[in-house]
């Protein structure tokens, strides 16, 4: 590892020295994210204001030094890994909730605010911020916006993109740009605003976010149904969505996932079924009761072997325990995993799952699968051991095969994790060449020197 003391000294002129890190031990902490990728930065700087972010970018542009924005480091595509070094811009100290306007149903926050903290704050005021990525207890709002994150509740309420009303962004030149406002109808620059949502830190550094909030639903109910046949579970999803019920969340866990979770929890999960559906409904109490009964009936009519229904928050949380324990349960079987994130049409889910099972068998790998089946977002997790080079070569080939299956089924490479480093090589296959070229041109227009998060999304500019 090369420690760049000169760069650290330059950074200490624009940010207090105690917020500049450059020792090998400190740099290792910022070398990785939620993937297995790692590459140490040249220096780390932790700003506390938009002005300090702008000063760092001014310096980086002058020195032609890459800047890699980072929140909690929980990303699953390598988006915050400093490939080839550079300055990691640690945004976790920008963590103030600046305002919660109850009357206007708006929250103004800095990018380092953790999703779960914001949810707790607004729910205490009888408001609701729906986007709930699985990492909500660690991931930050800035990272959620940068990757256009979603979560189970996006089926009914939409993902992060639908809740961003305004942004403060520092451009690669150090210029501060304000977009949008506090009203859903203040978006004369809406197209420009949404250019930055999902841009993975390649177009600008988000330093403030204005978010739309909604009224907190007063009641919630949950149905868990076990299906001997995955095809029946998939067809039941179609029946539920066609019944007029709009679920808060509609999740699936396949048999491999159930076995992993049961070995971890010993919760009495059925292991003789191909899939479990987990369905949440919310709204007024009477509405929740009726919708829950409808979902339960449709599951029974659709071939479910067992249906459980919860009507209290505690009962719902108990049924969700298995879904929330997936990642930790995988760690008991294998030390590492590649958590993928494809999205396919709902009608293609049974065939997609079948092909992923074939891929697992062909490469001799364990690939549990779960996800947001209501909108076709599936998470095949390839379990592995990074120390086994031969196995890792099979993991890479299996991931390539999974991407090919998703695209062949009319799907996409990512539903919510982003492209980052892991999927950038597949963009030419997934996108129209003219669209890909236009995306590159837009990036060059905003960042002509390629300072911001280089190598992410595109292999080269």
| Integer Cα distance of 356 and 266 in angstroms | 26
- Is residue 427 one of the residues assigned to a domain? no
Residue 426 is given by DSSP the state G
- Is residue 443 one of the residues assigned to a domain? no
Which residues are 354's β-sheet partners?
none
| Integer Cα distance of 99 and 433 in angstroms | 43
Residue 351 is given by DSSP the state H
Phi and psi torsions of 153, nearest 5°: -75, -5
Query: Whole-model pTM?
Result: 0.94
- Is residue 225 one of the residues assigned to a domain? yes
Pull the structure tokens for residue 341: 């994130």
**Closest Cα partner for 88 from 38, 135, 136?**
38
Question: Which CATH number covers residue 397?
Answer: 3.30.70.2740
DSSP-derived pairing of the beta strands 87-90 and 67-70: parallel
**Considering its fold, how many domains does the chain have in total?**
4
The answer to whether residues 195 and 266 belong to one domain is no
**Closest Cα partner for 147 from 423, 348, 410, 358?**
423
The answer to whether residues 371 and 316 belong to one domain is no
Residue 39 is given by DSSP the state -
**Closest Cα partner for 140 from 118, 173, 111?**
111
Phi and psi torsions of 334, nearest 5°: -140, 150
Q: Please, are residues 372 and 250 in contact by the beta-carbon 8 Å criterion? A: yes
Which residues are 371's β-sheet partners?
252, 378
The answer to whether residues 15 and 85 belong to one domain is yes
Compute the C-alpha angle 92/98/104, nearest 5°. 135
- Is residue 453 one of the residues assigned to a domain? no
The answer to whether residues 162 and 190 belong to one domain is yes
The domain boundary residue, chosen from 73, 90, 107:
90
pLDDT in tens, 92-115: 999 999 999 999 999 999 999 999
Q: Please, are residues 30 and 41 in contact by the beta-carbon 8 Å criterion? A: yes
| Integer Cα distance of 93 and 91 in angstroms | 6
Q: In what order do the strands lie in the sheet with 43-45?
A: 20-21, 43-45, 87-90, 67-70
Phi and psi torsions of 340, nearest 5°: -90, 175
| Integer Cα distance of 118 and 210 in angstroms | 12
Q: Please compute Rg for the chain using Cα positions.
A: 22
pLDDT at 409: 95
- Is residue 362 one of the residues assigned to a domain? yes
| Integer Cα distance of 46 and 172 in angstroms | 17
The answer to whether residues 286 and 348 belong to one domain is no
Render the burial of 318-332: b for 16+ CB within 10 Å, e for the rest: ebbebbebbbebbee
The answer to whether residues 204 and 246 belong to one domain is no
The domain boundary residue, chosen from 90, 111, 130:
90
Query: Residues near 6 by Cβ (< 8 Å), separated by ≥ 6?
Result: none
The answer to whether residues 105 and 207 belong to one domain is yes
pLDDT at 2: 46
Q: Please, are residues 454 and 439 in contact by the beta-carbon 8 Å criterion? A: no
Q: Please, are residues 163 and 130 in contact by the beta-carbon 8 Å criterion? A: yes
Question: Which CATH number covers residue 140?
Answer: 3.30.465.10
The answer to whether residues 200 and 304 belong to one domain is no
E-strand ranges in 358-398 read 369-372, 377-384
Expressed as residue numbers, the domain containing 252 is 219-326
Over its length of 461 residues, how does the chain's per-residue pLDDT go in tens digits? 445 678 999 999 999 999 999 999 999 999 999 888 999 999 999 999 999 999 999 999 999 999 999 999 999 999 999 999 999 999 999 999 999 999 999 999 999 999 999 999 999 999 999 999 989 999 999 999 999 999 999 999 999 999 999 999 999 999 999 999 988 776 678 889 999 999 999 999 999 999 999 999 999 999 999 999 988 998 999 999 999 999 999 999 999 999 999 988 888 889 999 999 999 999 999 999 999 999 999 999 999 999 999 878 888 888 888 888 888 888 888 899 998 899 999 888 889 988 999 999 999 999 999 999 998 999 999 999 999 999 999 999 999 999 999 999 999 998 889 999 999 998 998 999 999 999 999 999 999 999 999 999 998 66
- Is residue 446 one of the residues assigned to a domain? no
pLDDT at 287: 95
Q: Please, are residues 76 and 35 in contact by the beta-carbon 8 Å criterion? A: yes
The answer to whether residues 62 and 154 belong to one domain is no
- Is residue 441 one of the residues assigned to a domain? no
Question: Which CATH number covers residue 28?
Answer: 3.30.43.10
Question: Which CATH number covers residue 242?
Answer: 3.30.70.2190
The answer to whether residues 315 and 404 belong to one domain is no
pLDDT in tens, 309-340: 987 888 888 888 888 888 888 888 889 999 88
The domain boundary residue, chosen from 215, 247, 279:
215
The answer to whether residues 208 and 227 belong to one domain is no
Query: Residues near 123 by Cβ (< 8 Å), separated by ≥ 6?
Result: 216
- Is residue 401 one of the residues assigned to a domain? yes
| Integer Cα distance of 177 and 194 in angstroms | 13
Pull the structure tokens for residue 104: 């206007």
| Integer Cα distance of 450 and 209 in angstroms | 24
Q: Please, are residues 426 and 77 in contact by the beta-carbon 8 Å criterion? A: no
The answer to whether residues 319 and 339 belong to one domain is no
């Amino acid at each position: 590892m090369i420690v760049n003391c000169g760069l650290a000294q330059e950074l200490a002129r624009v940010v207090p020295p105690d917020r500049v890190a450059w020792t090998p031990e400190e740099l290792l902490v910022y070398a990785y994210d939620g993937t297995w990728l790692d590459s140490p930065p040249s220096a780390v700087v932790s700003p506390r204001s938009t002005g300090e972010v702008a000063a760092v970018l001014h310096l980086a542009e002058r020195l032609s030094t890459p800047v890699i924005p980072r929140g909690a480091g929980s990303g699953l595509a390598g988006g915050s890994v400093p490939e080839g070094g550079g300055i990691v811009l640690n945004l976790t100290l920008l963590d103030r909730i600046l305002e919660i306007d109850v009357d206007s149903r708006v929250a103004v926050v800095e990018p380092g605010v953790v999703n779960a903290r914001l949810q707790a704050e607004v729910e205490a005021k009888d408001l609701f911020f729906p986007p709930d990525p699985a990492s909500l207890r660690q991931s930050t709002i800035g990272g959620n916006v940068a990757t256009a994150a979603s979560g189970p509740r996006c089926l009914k309420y939409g993902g992060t993109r639908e809740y961003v009303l305004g942004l403060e962004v520092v451009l690669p030149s150090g210029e501060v740009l304000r977009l949008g406002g506090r009203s859903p109808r203040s978006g004369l620059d809406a197209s420009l605003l949404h250019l930055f949502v999902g841009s993975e830190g390649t177009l600008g550094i988000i330093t403030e976010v204005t978010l739309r909030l909604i009224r907190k639903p007063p009641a919630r109910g949950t149905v868990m149904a076990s299906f001997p046949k995955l095809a029946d579970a998939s067809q039941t999803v179609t029946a539920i969505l066609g019944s007029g019920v709009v679920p808060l969340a509609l999740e699936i866990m396949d048999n491999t996932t159930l076995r992993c979770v049961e070995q971890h929890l010993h919760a009495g999960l059925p292991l003789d079924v191909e899939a479990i559906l987990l369905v949440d409904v919310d709204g007024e109490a009477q509405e929740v009761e009726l919708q829950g009964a409808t979902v339960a009936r449709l599951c029974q009519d659709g071939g479910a072997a067992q249906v459980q229904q919860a009507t209290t928050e505690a009962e719902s949380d108990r049924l969700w325990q298995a879904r929330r324990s997936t990642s930790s349960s995988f760690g008991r079987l294998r030390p590492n995993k590649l958590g993928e994130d494809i999205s396919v049409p709902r009608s293609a889910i049974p065939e997609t799952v079948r092909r992923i099972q074939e891929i697992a068998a062909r490469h001799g790998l364990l690939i549990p699968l779960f996800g947001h089946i209501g909108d076709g977002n599936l998470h095949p997790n390839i379990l592995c051991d990074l120390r086994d080079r031969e196995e890792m070569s099979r993991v890479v080939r299996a991931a390539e095969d999974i991407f090919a299956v998703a695209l062949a089924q009319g799907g996409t490479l990512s539903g919510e994790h982003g492209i980052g480093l892991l999927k950038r090589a597949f963009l030419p296959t997934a996108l129209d060449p003219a669209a890909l070229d236009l995306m590159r041109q837009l990036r060059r227009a905003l960042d002509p020197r390629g300072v911001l998060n280089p190598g992410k999304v595109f292999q080269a500019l």
